[in-house]
Amino acid sequence: IRQLVKQRRPRGFPPGPTPLPIIGNILSLQGTERDEEYSNPNIFSLDLGGVSTVILNGYDAIKECLYHQSEVFADRPSLPLFQKMTKMGGLLNCKYGQSWIEHNKLAVNCFRYFGSGQRMFEKISEECLFFLDAIDQHQGKPFNPKHLVTNAVSNITNLIIFGQRFTYDDSDFQHMIEIFSENVELAASGWAFLYNAFPWMEYVPFGKHQKLFRNANEVYDFLLQIIKRFSQDRVPQSPQHYIDAYLDEMEQSATDKATSFSQDNLIFSVGELIIAGTETTTNCLRWAMLYITLYPRIQEKVQMEIDCILNGRPSALEDKQGMPYVEAVLHEVLRLCNVVPLGIFRATSQDAVVRGYTIPKGTMVITNLYSVHFDEKYWSNPSIFWPERFLGCNGKFVRHEAFLPFSIGKRHCLGEQLARLEMFLFFTTLLQRFHLQFPEGFIPSLSPKLGMTLQPRPYSICAIRRQQ
């Protein structure tokens, strides 16, 4: 039987542990017992409930595939769950081809046009003030910042997509975000793997997969409703936000049978942009707040730099370059906290050869970004929070090659520049006004809540107004 099961791997495929019947090596995803028994421990394979998957570990293997064979590794896997959710359309989960090219181009242009430069900087600064005022209302008493950070961060994406922010008490919008992030969690759960192995489970009326479908339907209904609301006053060919620009594309290509612009794909892309922008940046900021509250000396140094450069005035676009310590702290949070630890599942768009192994077209590929940031070839003492690793001896910021929180290659994160700007502004304005400390007797946990994204376990902090 062992021999038979082993033969499920295609010829020349990277080796891996023997799969168990039905569930394959799903359990190995949590363990670490792979490695040394293979000649190439950085490329190996697992059977995830019947889905042959290649795992890429460490910076060299990931760069070799995602960067040097960018197009070959640019696809997304056609898993039953993804097919059911977005029909492999939209943007983030879209198959690599004409449809992705069209949707990526439109989104990149919109992010450049509506989401960068001085105008966006001012918009984020405005949102920072709403954020600080909402924190002020807690008057230094303990509160869990998750809710406020989520609202503030999602509003930046909302400005690009809808041209408007939502108030922090908009319960409909918040409910949508909540069930959407619940789905991100469910999509990485055992139920999702089971569904991918046995798509007929769709007809089993109980189970978490049904919750996933119900949530998705509710989210898509809500998105359709607000898309309609925000496009009511639209002037064709004069786009004010992403929805307008998308509808222009839809109209222009209305007679083109091959076009990928459609109402369904509009809803899917809007949903993906909202969740991809919110979950990640929110979690990063929550980790950043947690770490600097835990390390008061680091918080003090951050505040010294902010006070020295800003001297009480609001941040300007040029200040980002002048604050190497803030940059170092935010980079160290991105490295150590690994908010997207396994990237977003990739697939091969054509047959591939890597280090002598053959990987057939359509194979699922998991990029272990976590392993890049703990790769001892590139980082010393990688498990220690040490912002200074990003500073040269002259105190200037130093880039590191093996730093891939936004991934690389064709499908790398589209919101990287925006996320960096948001993190910088929210972080500096927060620490300019407040000193953060834990409520007395509170011992924070640094172990993450596991899922497709890594987030801190809920914690409370006190934000005490600083004297300046």
Kindly list the residues in this chain that would bind ligand HEM in the complex (CB under 6 A). 91-92, 104, 157, 272-273, 276-277, 280-281, 284, 339-340, 343-344, 346, 367, 405-407, 411-415, 418-419
Q: Least distance in Å: CB of 110 to ligand HEM?
A: 10
Q: Least distance in Å: CB of 403 to ligand HEM?
A: 11
Of 292 and 339, which has the nearer Cβ to ligand HEM? 339
d(CA 299, CA 286): 14
Paired tokens of 68: 């040097």
Q: Least distance in Å: CB of 443 to ligand HEM?
A: 27
Indicate the helix (H) or strand (E) that contains 435: strand 434-437
Of 67 and 168, which has the nearer Cβ to ligand HEM? 67
Do 331 and 387 touch, CB atoms closer than 8 A?
yes
Residue nearest ligand HEM (C-beta atom): 415
Q: Least distance in Å: CB of 160 to ligand HEM?
A: 7
Q: At what angle do helices 263-294 and 242-252 cross, to 10 degrees?
A: 160
DSSP annotation of 257? T
Paired tokens of 107: 């989104």
Residue with tokens 């925006």: 418
Do 389 and 53 touch, CB atoms closer than 8 A?
no
Of 19 and 415, which has the nearer Cβ to ligand HEM? 415
Of 273 and 462, which has the nearer Cβ to ligand HEM? 273
Q: Least distance in Å: CB of 311 to ligand HEM?
A: 29
Of 111 and 194, which has the nearer Cβ to ligand HEM? 111
What amino acid occupies position 283?
N
Do 309 and 200 touch, CB atoms closer than 8 A?
no
Do 161 and 188 touch, CB atoms closer than 8 A?
no
Of 209 and 411, which has the nearer Cβ to ligand HEM? 411
Q: Least distance in Å: CB of 2 to ligand HEM?
A: 34
d(CA 122, CA 350): 44
Q: Least distance in Å: CB of 382 to ligand HEM?
A: 18
Of 17 and 341, which has the nearer Cβ to ligand HEM? 341
Indicate the helix (H) or strand (E) that contains 188: none
d(CA 75, CA 329): 33
What amino acid occupies position 300?
E
